[in-house]
Amino acid sequence: MANLSQLKFAMATSIFLSAFIFSLLVFVIVYFLQLDVFAGFAIAIGASALFILFQYAIGPIVVEWTTHLNYLKPGENPWLENTVKELADKAGLPMPRLATVPSNTPNAFTFGRTTNSAVLAVHEGLLRQLNQAEVKAVIAHELGHIKHKDYIVMTVLSCLPLIAYYIAQVTLFAGAFGGRGRRDKDNSGAILVVIGIIAFLIYIITFIIVMRLSRLREHYADAFSAYATGSPRSLQSALAKITYGLSIAPKAPSGARSFYISDPGMAKQEIASIMQRKSQYDLDNDGVLNERELEHAMEKEAASTWAQANGLFSTHPATFKRILLLREIEQEMNTGQYSSNKMYNHV
């Protein structure tokens, strides 16, 4: 049984672990390069802080530019405006700025620097391919991220693996090729390679920590949506449609995947894996996977060792795991014995 404080604890723990592990990288660099300890730490921490602040400052601008957002004017989409306003008021949130993305893929995301400056963006494909109840469930999910403020933490936290990755690339390249043009009597090339390997390992560890938080926050946002709309089934069907819609999209975006309601790259993997074993899951041998057979397939795929190992590097939980959570909430709602103050108990 979980509650919102556990998500906050997970966010704080993720920040602490990532910062601590990253500080080990700083120590390694200072030690191997024989820098002055205080000067080395001051430079590394200062540079990292500036990088984080820089990404925090320009992050929303980059999202706007890469997704080609179209900010909605008042009255441009009355149903969308009214739906978001209704759910935001219910959640005690300020009205986010609304935008659409000129894309046929069914998706949505939230970004911003603060709760008051948050932007809720929906793809045009989402509005066309989902019914109003499903779109409402997706909107509630995105408002859940605003309520939890997890998108702000993800923006800051994702910088640390990125910095470690850049350090690994630069030092490995410098160590491998920089020492070839000279005798390298002081073994500086080998030292740079060692730093690069350690930096890459730290990149992997911090990346796994960030991805774990990313998956956890999706479950919390799903639970928030279920109780905010009172219709877990709507989000279940929305996630199924979104996953399939993203799987047949011609190209998955390469950046900011963790901010979407569903990761396009992961959706392609999920559906492709099921299609490869279609004959095993087609229980009635009619050549088509019906709802029951597809659910069985997704459950089997989610439980596979490969899927669980691959899940360590995933931005989102497997779709079936999300649907299972929503079904637990739906069963609780059907009993009539539930309350919004216990909305995260099933996470």
pLDDT tens, residue by residue, 203-227: 899 899 989 999 999 999 999 999 9
Q: How far, CA to CA in Å, does 7 sit from each of 34, 148, 216?
A: 40, 8, 8
C-alpha to C-alpha distance for 150 and 346, rounded to whole angstroms: 19
Domain presence at residue 65? yes
Domain presence at residue 159? yes
Q: Are 107 and 262 in contact (CB under 8 A)?
A: yes
Domain presence at residue 172? yes
Of the chain, the percentage scoring pLDDT greater than 90 comes to 30
The catalytic position among 64, 86, 142, 328 is 142
Q: Which of 321, 320, 263, 328 is nearest to 295 (CA)?
A: 320
What's the burial of 288, exposed, middle or buried (CB within 10 Å: 0-12/13-18/19+)?
A: exposed
pTM, entire model: 0.85
Q: Pick the more confident residue, 172 or 141.
A: 141
Q: What is the mean pLDDT of the segment spanning 94-103?
A: 93
- Find where tokens 């999202």 sit: 63
C-alpha to C-alpha distance for 121 and 143, rounded to whole angstroms: 11
Residue 52 one-letter amino acid? I
Backbone angles phi, psi at 251, to 5 degrees: -150, 135
Domain presence at residue 347? no
Residue 299 appears among annotated catalytic residues: no
Domain presence at residue 189? yes
| Structural domain that includes position 207 | 4-342
Instruction: Provide the residue count of the chain.
Output: 347
**What do you get for the CA distance between the two ends of the chain, in Å?**
7
Strands (E) located in 102-247: 108-111, 119-123
Count structural domains, the chain: 1
Which pLDDT band holds residue 257 (cuts at 50, 70, 90)? low
Residue 85: predicted pLDDT = 96
- Find where tokens 């959570």 sit: 325
pLDDT in tens, 114-171: 889 899 999 999 999 999 999 999 999 999 999 999 988 887 787 778 888 888 888 8
Q: What is the mean pLDDT of the segment spanning 61-75?
A: 86
